[in-house]
Structure 1
Amino acid sequence: MRVLKIELEGTTTSFRHPHLLTGRQPSYPLPPPATLYGHIASVLGDYPAPESFRFAFAFTHQGSVDDYEHTWLIERDDRKEKAGQPAPNITGTLSPTVREVFFRPHLTLYLDTPHLDAWHAAFRAPAFPVALGRSQDLAAYTRVEVITLEERQAGYLDHTLLPWSWRPEVSLGQGLLMPRVIDPRDRQRVVWARYVALTHRAYLPMAGESGREAHWVRIEPGSRSVWVDPHTPEYRDRQRALVWHTLTGADSESLDVPA
């Protein structure tokens, strides 16, 4: 199976919880699917059809810190003119914010699309500046290549999103409600989905392994075939298995190799 593999590195990034508007602004531990959709759109120069691709990823960083950030809240000013002075049309209010920021983020993004060659060329010459998270979080691609995945009976999962249907099968990971996709024509329309944010390594069991400990995915050994990146490091004789996600809401987020 041929896919596009992109390696991205930056200095800082943050993925704000959209429902927290005041006080400290914590970050999602992993980029939401909507963030990745916007990132891909910035590379292509336009939003691709949500059904035109699926994605898998791994995201790591070297630590987090609370950064003191100034935000200006701009609103229309309806005050009347004062004697001899025109009325201002906008006012700005300074809002100090403490924001959680990740240091030295690293994203490995895998894309499965019928437009493989065109997207490969686009990631080598992005339409807009490369950023991950906030607009000021500039980043750079260290590698853009087409690779061939291999079918295996086991692998490991790390620093990635799992579908909510996997919740009974994994003891590790935080359950989160994340934006799956934001309508680019109406940004008030958001599709939400639940995920398991896996920020540790978990293993798919091989034959003869019980898979009962917390760091195992509790499935029958060999019951699922997986797509594995053969260029990743080995841990316990396994390499990284990919969990595919879509933006369409179809129940295709899985490790299963298509027939």
Structure 2
Amino acid sequence: MSASTVTPTTPAPGRSRHPYDACPLCSAPDISELRTGDCSHHALYKPVVSPLMVWMRCGACGHVFTEGYFTDEVRAEVFSSTHPNQRPGADFEQNRYLSARIVERVARHAPGGTWLDVGFGNGSLLFTAEEWGFEPQGLDLRPATVQAMRALGIDAHCADLTALDEPGRYSVISLADVLEHMPYPGQGLVAAHRLLREDGVLFASMPHYDCAAWRLLDAHNANPYWGELEHFHNFSRARFYSLLEEHGFEPLQYAVSERYRLCMEVIARRR
């Protein structure tokens, strides 16, 4: 069974997560506990979630992921709050500078067309893409965020990427710090491949756990990502590149992200 067609395991009564019984990327059953983390100090923490985060590693592909992903009820509770910096228009001038450096790099590979930003948060990437001549469109799972984005004149929808029925429409799809939130990231890449035009470009960013900066924070017991409430995955560059290739993308460019600590940015083209 592929990771894209995995049937959720039913959580035990009182559990806040559907447990993974195999690797969510490669479906290998060879998974073991790596370490734990404490998410009780996270800004969006709610008591419906266990404060203990258990991280697993796949013995086959090396991917690192939590023991499970939120049930629908728990996800709705967690998503009922939003980080202040993820509200449309937040810190818009400083974020414009950060987004401009991303858009400039992406525009070298996709000079125009519709840019779909998934999980658009403060909206900066779409605001800035519009300055480069792209037609902006956004998806987000928080209804209030979508309403605020529409009030600013951007076409925005409260919908899941995998349910979007616009095959071949988009020249750019950005998954900026999104895939680590998805129970099965491969499903997001399948959807992006279907929605992009033949020469379309994917932009993705996420924490990079296999780098010296990550290990240095680990050595000082100061790495925030082991307690990152909303994350289900920690990617390495190598594993993410192979995942892209498995789903029909050619990696084009790697960069260190300025958006969040320890993150990487990857530009890839649809094959």
Structure with the greater alpha carbon radius of gyration: 1
Tell me the TM-score normalised to structure 2 length.
0.23
Larger relative contact order (CA 8 Å, sep ≥ 6): 1
